[in-house]
Copies of this chain bind each other. A is one copy, B any other.
Amino acid sequence: MRATILHAPGDIRVETWADPVIERPTDAIVRVVAGCVCGSDLWPYRGANAVPEPRTIGHEAIGVVEAVGGDVGRVRVGDFVIVPFDHCCGRCVHCLAGQTQGCVELAMTASGQAELTRVTNADATCFVLDEAPDAARHAAVLALSDVLPTGYHAAVSAGVEPGMTAVVVGDGAVGLCGVLSARRLGAERIIALSRNPERQRIATVFGATDLVPERGDDAVEAVRELTGGVGADAVLECVGTEESMVTAFRVARPGATVGFVGVPHGAAIPWPVAFRGNIGLRGGMAPVTRYLPELVPAVLAGDLDASAVFDLELPLEQAPEAYAAMDERRAVKVLLRP
């Protein structure tokens, strides 16, 4: 197959690579209809994670089932499926408690930016659609494989409830989906921290009522003013760095929760703020499988549409340009078509 291969930080190429195969009888192979680049893919691209050897990359995909293992029953060849980035067995104590990201057999989509990808525990993992969506809806559906449920997880973890004031730290695709999710959960006021005009525009379309372009101390001060000195009822931390986490805690009102979903990279808790303010922290890897039964119908009905985060679409062969565009913040999120 043709696949995006990360050779080393900054060195990403589209090459011919071995097709993934059924390794266990519960596996399925999916022919990717659309994949995309995630903000977390930029970490190894930028050298924040080691790349010991060339490997496929990409964990977001929708597509058509090409093959299934002998123990796969519910999912059939030809089905159009959403592939949650975090595969789960659906049977273990953690899956049964809704903690599918803590599955004892947790695995990840490993070649979402390729023609084919392997899905483990396919019956529990694949979300089968009744019919293949029109190409015009691919972006909205693709968002369900990670970025939308992840933004939703930030909002749920932060405890967003109707009437609340929510702050969203991070204006990447996940942060923007956090804005959309906070609105869906009924937040009355949504303050998005963003200084990029295009991202501000999407945030506003998604439901942001206030935009704060400042960072650090100035952002904290701006939120304090916007909230009459009280702080936010709920905070969505969608970056994962120390600065973003500290800002998230500092804009929270006493007793509020920071819902975090950015993969932590140097994140640190401002302990005195957390201690005195009783600011909670909750979140992490999104249990995508838990959320899909709720989110998919809303997306298919057109009530929830995160497709605006895909502001660039490229053929798979141009994956290197997709990475460069996101790395240089010329694009929010790039959809790739094999």
Q: Which residues on A are within 8 Å of B, measured CB to CB?
A: 93-94, 97-99, 101-102, 106, 157, 230, 253-255, 257, 263-264, 267-269, 271-272, 274-285, 287
Contact = CB atoms under 8 A, between A and B. Distances in A.
A35 B263 CA distance: 46
Contacts of A277: 99, 101-102, 284
Nearest to A280: B282
What are the 5 closest A-B residue pairs judged by CB atoms, nearest first?
A: A102-B254, A280-B282, A99-B254, A264-B271, A275-B284
Contacts of A285: 275-276, 278
A284 to B, nearest CB: 4
Count of this chain's copies in the oligomeric assembly = 2
Contacts of A157: 278, 280
26 contacts: A93-B230, A94-B254, A94-B255, A97-B253, A99-B253, A99-B255, A99-B278, A101-B278, A102-B253, A102-B255, A102-B277, A257-B282, A263-B275, A264-B271, A264-B274, A264-B275, A267-B269, A268-B268, A269-B269, A269-B281, A278-B282, A278-B287, A279-B284, A280-B280, A280-B281, A280-B283
A264 B269 CA distance: 10
A97 B254 contact: yes
Contact of A278 (B254, B269, B284): B284
Contacts of A106: 276
A278 B94 CA distance: 11
Contact of A284 (B94, B98, B263, B276): B276
A42 to B, nearest CB: 17
B275 A94 contact: no
A227 B6 CA distance: 40
Contacts of A283: 278, 280
Nearest to A230: B93
A278 B259 CA distance: 10
A93 B255 CA distance: 12
Nearest to A254: B102
Contacts of A279: 284
Contacts of A97: 253-255
Contacts of A255: 94, 97-99, 102
Contacts of A274: 264, 281, 284
Contacts of A94: 230, 253-255
